A and B are shown apart, each in its own frame.
Chain A
Amino acid sequence: MAFKPLSRDEIARRAGRDIPDGAYVNLGIGLPTLAANYVPAGREVIYHSENGILGMGPSPNAGEEDLDVINAGKQPVTLLPGASIFHHTDAFAMIRGGHIGLALLGGMQVSAGGDLANWSTGDEKFPPAVGGAMDLAAGAASVWVLMDHTTREGEPKILDSCTFPLTAAGIVDRIYTNLAVIDVADDGLIVREMVQGLEFDELQRRTGARLRLANDWRAIEV
């Protein structure tokens, strides 16, 4: 049976639906940031930006940008009523002290044990840059990774162990890919959802670590 991988927006939509009401959340640059667009109406989520903002709102209207109100990706944002601004060390105490309940991060590779590689391919041609990736991965109470299931070349990104330099070890709780929703449990990877029409064996073939299918697995709805 044919299946259709999720688009980037659909991955964000699927993950956004799971962000709980009242959570303090940090969204990584790129795909994770899109998830904010898909949090169900009626939930109040407090977004944190590591440069020193709690209570970020959506992008401003054209012409209403404030160059000193930006997110971690240096894009202009807005402040919701109730927002607060603080200095960098406090912003990172929120992360490193486990006060941020949930971080949604992009990923290059995730291991079966929950290791995350998302800051470097190890290619020394490029100067390295890490930003707050290691702080978020190690510090947030919960880490969800949003990424494609395989590389453009079809290589699995979920592996027994990461081949790229690690961002942090043993910290990923859940993976949202364009093919599946997978929990990283103490005893391995558990597939909770798969895209409509995808056979488990096919998903396993595209994965570099052993998967188990949850008894109550479902087709992903987006």
Chain B
Amino acid sequence: MLDKRVSSLSAAVAGIRDGSVVLIGGFGASGIPVELIDALIDGGARELTVVTNNAGAGHTDIAKLLASGHVRKIVCSFPRSAGSVVFEELYGAGKLELELVPQGTLSERMRAAGAGIGGFFTRTAAGTKLAEGKETRVIDGHEYVFEKPLKGDVALIKAETADRWGNLTFRMAARNFAPTMAMAADLTLVQARKIVDLGDISPEQVMTPGIFVDRVVEVQNPIHAGQKS
């Protein structure tokens, strides 16, 4: 029997090793898997590389993870935003390495990793500072930049519904990076507001097929990042 359900957040994050590359879904506050992030912090894995679009706001979820001292490097597109005080302090003090990646390239690099593609050429960033040191090629008269796949050891994903096979749906635009990250990590961990019976999610409505998912844990009333619990 295929059953990806686990009964606790600590079981969901069990086995994450020091030095892991951790992909974390979310754009702004929408789609941030707050409870899984807290469990990751409690699990104590260190020297992590975190891949996520923004570098957290305030002192909760991603900001809390950065402040925990467990993160060596962050890969993201827009670290500096309203309330990104923890990131700015750590970065300013030289305690956090930053790899800045254009948002679409970030997403596409993870998709490439998930789809077994060994890299791709894109026009994004051609002729800019973010292409320095990268291979370029002129294709049909336009300059393209070579970008490598970005693979995760682990992905932390927030879903709306899941079943025991790991099929997922997402709520509104909280979907953002989740389907791509789910396919790009070796171990995809999902917190879902509701775990339903097989068949309750119509096959036509499955947004991430369960093959990309490893563990699901139910978190019935998830905290929306930045909101009080």
Docked pose: A52 CA to B173 CA in angstroms = 6
**Which of A67, A129, A169 sits near B78, CB closer than 8 Å?**
A129
**Which of B122, B174, B207 sits near A96, CB closer than 8 Å?**
B122
A185-204 residues with Cβ-Cβ distance < 8 A to B are none
Docked pose: A92 CA to B124 CA in angstroms = 11
Docked pose: A92 CA to B105 CA in angstroms = 8
Point out which of A89, A126, A131 has the most chain B C-beta atoms below 10 A from its C-beta.
A89
A139 touching B128, Cβ below 8 Å:
no
A89 touching B108, Cβ below 8 Å:
yes
Q: Is A134 an interface residue (CB 8 A)?
A: yes
Could you list 18 further interchain pairs (A-B, Cβ under 8 angstroms) beyond the known A49-B173, A88-B175, A135-B105? A50-B104, A67-B30, A74-B29, A85-B175, A91-B107, A96-B122, A127-B80, A127-B92, A129-B77, A129-B100, A130-B77, A131-B77, A132-B104, A134-B104, A165-B129, A166-B127, A166-B128, A169-B128
B122-137 residues with Cβ-Cβ distance < 8 A to A are 122-130
For A130, the chain B residues whose CB sits under 8 A away are: 77-78, 100-103, 130
Q: Is B177 an interface residue (CB 8 A)?
A: yes
**Can you give 10 contacting A-B residue pairs, CB < 8 Å?**
A69-B172, A70-B30, A87-B179, A91-B107, A126-B80, A129-B79, A129-B80, A132-B77, A134-B124, A138-B125
For A53, the chain B residues whose CB sits under 8 A away are: 173
B49-103 residues with Cβ-Cβ distance < 8 A to A are 77-81, 87-88, 91-92, 98, 100-103
Docked pose: A128 CA to B129 CA in angstroms = 11
Given A66-B172, A92-B107, A135-B102, verify A169-B127 contact (CB < 8 Å). yes
The proximity string for A residues 79-90 relative to B, scoring 1 for CB distances below 8 Å and 0 otherwise, is 000000111110
The proximity string for A residues 100-135 relative to B, scoring 1 for CB distances below 8 Å and 0 otherwise, is 000000000000000100001000001111111111
**Nearest 5 pairs of A and B residues by beta carbon:** A92-B104, A135-B104, A74-B28, A68-B172, A169-B127
**Which of A86, A88, A128, A132 sits near B100, CB closer than 8 Å?**
A128
A86, closest chain B residue (CB):
B175
Residues in chain B within 8 A of chain A (CB atoms): 27-31, 77-81, 87-88, 91-92, 98, 100-105, 107-108, 110-111, 122-130, 171-180, 207, 224, 227
**Which of A96, A138, A169 sits near B108, CB closer than 8 Å?**
A96
A85, closest chain B residue (CB):
B173
Give the A interface residue count (CB, 8 A): 39
Point out which of B78, B81, B108, B128 has the most chain A C-beta atoms below 10 A from its C-beta.
B128
Q: Is A182 an interface residue (CB 8 A)?
A: no
A87 touching B103, Cβ below 8 Å:
no
For A178, the chain B residues whose CB sits under 8 A away are: none
Q: Is A95 an interface residue (CB 8 A)?
A: yes
A87 touching B178, Cβ below 8 Å:
yes
**Which of B29, B128, B130, B180 sits near A67, CB closer than 8 Å?**
B29
A51 touching B27, Cβ below 8 Å:
yes
**Which of B98, B100, B126 sits near A138, CB closer than 8 Å?**
B126
A95 to B: closest C-beta gap in Å: 6
A138 touching B78, Cβ below 8 Å:
no
B208 to A: closest C-beta gap in Å: 9
